Chains A and B, each alone.
Chain A
């Protein structure tokens, strides 16, 4: 850990930057690999550790997580590290346990209403924020708006962790029960059949885009899509009556963007434009759908998946004694919600909140550019919130030097990969580190940071091994996506290869034949969406993006968790 010893926070410093004291006071820090690789810009890193820390600690206390006071978070150069704060007093653990049990009962009984209430609270605030005119309001109002949006993000994280702890706990419990009683777990094809055939808010966007594509065909607009570069399609449509109709009518493209355009290609960053700012990616997807044609596979296949799920439910239930099938059904239904929740929560939590934060801070950036205090409005990502506010009223500090330095520092640390997965006292003893984490009983952390260990299956003679996440076999050319902005390059029939995927990517799913990820587990976005689109998914391969090349013909088996490179031609 020589690198860490020499490391000193230089360019970015705030209260949640890892300190020497933190390293001593906590047994182990775990890298949030699922979200913070590649490393973030300074502002986003700040927002993530602030938000997650607040949310986790608040929620763990609110629901009485028995063995854990929640997770603490720190930043090291654009990456997040987390550590569970264990409950060490047995008496306290006992009291929390009683509280937690009551919470789980309440949660199971009222899940639908609780989730509805959370959505209402979030959307009420979001509509207010969206209605605020960031560009034309006076600066003191923008200042106030920035405060509100950033503050509300803490509430977003609190609700997020509260829901996640509860939902994941029940999912993990049902999995444990199945492992113990039936010998299946979340890498089993039977489990995957059990967990699919459900709709969620994220799919609404895919379905809507598909409808827009069909309308474009009906209105004879295909040639406009096909004969213009993506960024000129909208202006060209504006010039025709049919095009305006397609854009402005109820359920048209404008409405689509208002509902689903508050998303950035990388859900967890501030440095790329949301679809509401730049709808080019959406246009590009419609063009891809035109090229592919056919039916919307999600809906075409859904009936079959539901039927298969019902059969899987019967199969699982039949292996419990008849006297126990009642409560097992209740638990199973609670566990089945985890997939849909896991997907659509990102729509209500991260996607919208992050794009609203970006919008507010970007508006501040624009005002600084107007006074030549920074060069590019997008440079706001190199500033911390206090620095933005300090320079908003009054607008007079020249930040160009600061931004240039920060930018240099950011590009430097982005090169510093890979980052250590574990740091602190247990860093050299991964098994002890895992025990420490499992001891916290925090299922969210276990599912996200670790994923399952991948088993040795040399007999398959595959080129890559991972964990099965959605069954099926497919062959096709590999498409590596290392930067979110590249997702528009995906062609129908390709197999997506990425480190991880975000729900904001789902519109590409109708085009794909399979998905291979470096990271992930059964509740990863690609796993859930892949199961619904009925395409094979292999997660946690560790090295797919390093080993596979664009255009290489590959075969993927999602039930076995294996990938083969095929001879070309």
Chain B
């Protein structure tokens, strides 16, 4: 009997971060207090481990990495290794026990959503949040495709960049296992990000929202010039509205996504109503509260078909990344004494 590797979001909580990664544990926690999170399930980190163990892929990956030697290799070599590893993972079969659990859960989710083959989003979820490092796959349909994309998610941890750092030690185990979250796909009319602090000025009394037409990936990949809204956290007053020229959008079609041109008449009008905007800020305040008042970086989406306010969904949240002290103040001001600078940095890094 294979152990259980799938958990529904509603079964989980933040204490499960080691099992299902930060992204999914946080989503589950949000779901618990009734925040609008798309329904779905999570393939735990142990499924990744089990795949690595039982297929023998761990040794194969070790082999690829050992060719890189001990020294940090350049990115080109890492890219080659990454490609080999990706291909190797693609070729391996997911262990039967896991496969069956995925298929059964997918079927159950589809039933809940009243369809034969639900369209889902697939996102990797590591113990720590690495913005933009792992992959997301949208609009996947059918269990065959789902299983393929789960493997792509797993393979995404062997990105060239991750490998370049890894080869310092030459060890596969330095790769942290990841979980994979599978949720109902939101066919978004608009989507974007929300910060519960001003990420530039660090003013926590402000909420900053960036929004664009279509799926949120457009903004994440910085391909469009989004609308920007600044809202007062306390009064919910809209303090600033900058409407961007949103020339393209990402949309879901068939089994994939594509980028298309936004009709001229929609390009320069706000993609969020004031009503949606304030509702979104209210939700974000709850999320921030849930995480002890630590400023959050939230991805959201607005469904194109559902009525307000059921159309608003929270896709993920993570603490706002503050640059570490050393990278913030590493540079020595000209004319400053070396030793003075070292002592200042040391105190800053170790004692503040």
| A interface residue numbers (CB < 8 A to B) | 66-67, 93, 97, 100-101, 104-105, 108-109, 169-170, 172-173, 176-177, 180-184, 187-190, 315, 321, 323-324, 326-327, 330-331, 334, 441, 455-460, 468, 471, 559-560
Contacts and interface: CB of A to CB of B under 8 A. Distances in A.
A190 B72 contact: yes
A188 B170 CA distance: 9
Contacts of A321: 331
B70 A105 contact: no
Interface in B50-77: 58-59, 61-62, 70-72
A455 B174 contact: yes
Nearest to A557: B170
Given A190-B70, A327-B338, 12 more contacts: A66-B347, A105-B343, A176-B350, A188-B169, A189-B71, A321-B331, A323-B331, A324-B332, A327-B339, A334-B342, A441-B350, A459-B173
22 contacts: A101-B344, A101-B347, A108-B339, A108-B343, A169-B346, A176-B350, A181-B326, A183-B165, A188-B168, A189-B70, A189-B168, A324-B330, A326-B332, A326-B338, A327-B338, A327-B342, A330-B339, A334-B342, A441-B351, A455-B171, A458-B58, A459-B59
A559 B347 contact: no
Given A459-B59, A560-B171, A109 B347 contact: no
A258 B205 CA distance: 72
Contacts of B58: 458-459
Interface string B162-193: 00010011111110000000000000000000
B203 to A, nearest CB: 25
A190 B330 contact: no
A460 B61 CA distance: 11
Contacts of B170: 559-560
Contacts of A93: 351
A507 B332 CA distance: 45
Nearest to B63: A459
Nearest to A331: B342
B133 interface: no
Contact of A459 (B172, B324, B331): B172
A468 B345 CA distance: 28
B2 interface: no
Contacts of B70: 189-190, 471, 559
Contact of A105 (B62, B331, B339, B351): B339
A190 B69 CA distance: 12
Contacts, number: 104
Nearest to A334: B342
Contacts of B343: 101, 104-105, 108
Contacts of A176: 326, 349-350
A171 to B, nearest CB: 11
A323 B326 contact: no
A109 B330 CA distance: 21
A105 B61 CA distance: 47
A471 B172 CA distance: 18
Which residue among B70, B324, B341, B349 has the maximum number of chain A CB atoms within 10 Å of its CB?
B70
Contacts of A334: 342
B340 A105 contact: yes
Given A183-B168, A321-B331, A323-B331, A109 B339 contact: yes
Interface of B: 58-59, 61-62, 70-72, 165, 168-174, 324, 326-327, 330-332, 338-347, 349-351
Contacts of A315: 71
Q: Is the interface of B mostly helix, strand, loop or mixed?
A: helix
Given A105-B339, A455-B173, A173 B331 contact: no
B330 A66 contact: no
Contacts of B339: 105, 108-109, 327, 330
A52 to B, nearest CB: 23
Contacts of A104: 342-343, 346
Nearest to B351: A66
B338 A330 contact: yes
A93 B352 CA distance: 11
Nearest to B60: A459
A108 B344 CA distance: 13
Which of B72, B169, B324 lies at the interface centre, i.e. has the most chain A CB atoms within 10 A of its CB? B169
B169 A187 contact: yes
A314 B71 CA distance: 13
A456 B173 contact: yes
A197 to B, nearest CB: 17
A536 to B, nearest CB: 13
A97 B347 contact: yes
A75 B326 CA distance: 40
A173 B327 CA distance: 14
Most interface-central of B171, B327, B345 (chain A CB within 10 A):
B171
Nearest to A315: B71
Contacts of B340: 105
A181 B61 CA distance: 26
A177 to B, nearest CB: 6
A545 B171 CA distance: 25
A457 B332 contact: no
Nearest to A459: B58
Given A97-B351, A109-B339, A176-B349, A190 B327 contact: no
Contacts of A441: 350-351
A324 B331 contact: yes
A169 B347 CA distance: 10
Contact of B71 (A169, A190, A458): A190
A456 B332 CA distance: 38
A323 B168 contact: no
Contact of A173 (B173, B330, B350): B350
Contacts of A105: 339-340, 343
A213 B105 CA distance: 75
The 7 closest A-B pairs by CB, nearest first: A327-B338, A457-B173, A459-B58, A183-B165, A189-B70, A173-B346, A101-B343
A327 B339 CA distance: 7
Contacts of B171: 455, 457, 459-460, 560
Contacts of B332: 323-324, 326-327
A181 B327 contact: yes
A176 B342 CA distance: 13
B126 to A, nearest CB: 16
A177 B342 CA distance: 11
A318 to B, nearest CB: 11
Contacts of A456: 173
B92 to A, nearest CB: 15
